[in-house]
Chain A
């Protein structure tokens, strides 16, 4: 008697899925880890896992077309002589000239200014175009100190000391040689065409006690005029926030792991740091424990896409949010109109993340003059302004529906969670229950 083994459908491993197999083959073929731009792509608990409850018998909504819902925010009220006021609580995150084209930086400035908010420099210094087109410009103070000088420090409206970012808390950066044009090389005091490393930690201070003195120096250089932000990646948000306050920050910028980067190792992006949703409540708790909530402002970034995300972050206690990847999409990044060119690069619109290679068909993450010229900074700036206005209207719509006449009046109490994970991270009840995992018994 012969044994007959009936055929079964081919079964692929969950552990060794197609993406994993492809990465193993890629690593074996090249001997180098995968470098890419953007933030974490893995599925993570996020704002989608939260819902607003809205008004009902016990809450009184506001009329959308008649009753005001304020969106403005003041940043830097703790120490700065000249705090900044933004019309909307959505800022543009730091992205460097070098990683982005000059036209893209100009478009960010135009869009942010039209919408009444700030934009931010990045590693590589401040360009005249960016300063000229940005009504409110935040100057990043980074470990590399590329382009750092006191003149630009003084012509900034605020200064953001970057300790870390969500895509790579604890990591530096690398701008590959193909993006080091003459101008980028000159701004960074480096030879053209070399791979330019951005250090992972500051060269002249270590730890929050030193940082306190560094902040003193910057305040003295700028005569105590400028708000000083400290940006941290989503690592240990309670202690990072508390230590930032102790070091003397006016504003804490907290960037979760969905926050993007111009380039770093994929393994870093996907495996280091915490989701944005998990970072907000510990940070707010730290501020509350120190009696500094609303006195030191909290800006949250990493995966903010819509007015709903804005409203949810603010309901959890943020004073404002910041966008980077979404702003790039508004400019034209990953636009399907360039699908054929994305295909030639071995990818597809919506998935393109080899920003470090400088071949961006949309002309945003490139220093190639021909590609960069594809982006009209005026039109792209208009698209960004439109997008920011839509996000603001959406957030206002939700706030009014919850009965609030200011986005800052949104509360955790306005929210429920769809999953146990989100309920635990956001510390709001699981929908249909009064259960907050870790806080009370089911």
Chain B
């Protein structure tokens, strides 16, 4: 298994190596030692790699990930898995703000808490947070699913488009045009599959509430001006 020690090797060499996997390569397991809060660790991966990051990372770990599975044995700074296309990123600790921002696919799992703006402008990514999330999460979320086992902060789902939000705990407040919606059978089915994929056990889908867009702000109406 190739190992990169960021205490002794350059970030540029790490990412370059992760981008240059030869076709048909058998050795797809990578280990990254001593990340020590480095930014942009394992960004732009486009191969089905299994990458273990042995410690906390800074900004944008797993940014624009495609296909790779990245597991961080620690916490993550802002923008983890931003604009992810596919694959999976798992954070064993907490995640800072903008986790999964603009993600288009794949799954981001945060075993701890996520700070503000988790899933901002999400465009198809699935995000599962085992702890709590901060304010303005899923702001302008376009597509995908945000699952929260803990509580959500203020203005959840503000200006939401078609992203779905499932929260097991309390919601401090909902943002503009975000409403609670009925949990129909297809939503229980969807949520169960997301929890299973994220490796979450011991919870029932019936414990969650679903939130989505009221779709009243989809076309500008001067009578809605107070909502903006």
Enumerate chain A interface residues (CB-CB to B < 8 A).
30-32, 144-145, 148-150, 153, 174, 176-177, 188-191, 193-195, 197, 199, 203-205, 210, 213-214, 216-217, 220-224
Q: How far is the CB of A140 from chain B (nearest CB, A)?
A: 14
Q: How far is the CB of B56 from chain A (nearest CB, A)?
A: 15
B82 and A204: CB pair below 8 A? yes
Interface size class of B (residues with CB under 8 A): 35 or more
| Complex: A268 Cα to B139 Cα, angstroms | 24
Q: How far is the CB of A23 from chain B (nearest CB, A)?
A: 16
B219 and A177: CB pair below 8 A? yes
Q: How far is the CB of A149 from chain B (nearest CB, A)?
A: 6
B219 and A203: CB pair below 8 A? no
In-complex Cβ contact of B101 among A189, A197, A204, A222 (8 A):
A204
B101 and A213: CB pair below 8 A? no
In-complex Cβ contact of A221 among B64, B120, B121, B123 (8 A):
B64
| Complex: A213 Cα to B82 Cα, angstroms | 13
B58 within 8 A of A: yes
As a 0/1 sequence over residues 118 to 149 of chain B, the CB contacts with chain A under 8 angstroms (1 = contact) are: 00110110000000000000011011000000
| Complex: A193 Cα to B220 Cα, angstroms | 12
Report chain A residues within 8 Å CB of B218: 177, 191, 194-195
Report chain B residues within 8 Å CB of A31: 222
B15 and A150: CB pair below 8 A? no
B36 within 8 A of A: no
Which residue, of A30, A191, A217, A222, has the highest number of chain B Cβ atoms within 10 A? Answer: A217
Would A203 and B143 be within 8 Å (CB), given that A145-B102, A150-B66, A217-B59 are in contact? no
A145 and B39: CB pair below 8 A? no
Would A150 and B46 be within 8 Å (CB), given that A203-B120, A205-B79, A210-B59 are in contact? yes
B44 and A213: CB pair below 8 A? no
| Complex: A223 Cα to B140 Cα, angstroms | 31
A203 and B102: CB pair below 8 A? yes
26 A-B pairs whose Cβ atoms sit less than 8 Å apart in the complex: A30-B222, A145-B83, A150-B46, A150-B83, A189-B123, A189-B142, A191-B161, A191-B218, A197-B140, A203-B98, A203-B102, A203-B117, A203-B120, A205-B79, A205-B98, A213-B39, A214-B59, A214-B79, A217-B43, A217-B79, A217-B82, A220-B11, A220-B43, A221-B15, A223-B15, A224-B12
B98 and A204: CB pair below 8 A? yes
A214 and B60: CB pair below 8 A? yes
Would A148 and B39 be within 8 Å (CB), given that A190-B161, A204-B98, A220-B12 are in contact? no
Task: Give the 8 A-B CB pairs with smallest separation, nearest first.
Answer: A221-B44, A204-B98, A204-B79, A194-B218, A204-B101, A145-B102, A217-B40, A31-B222
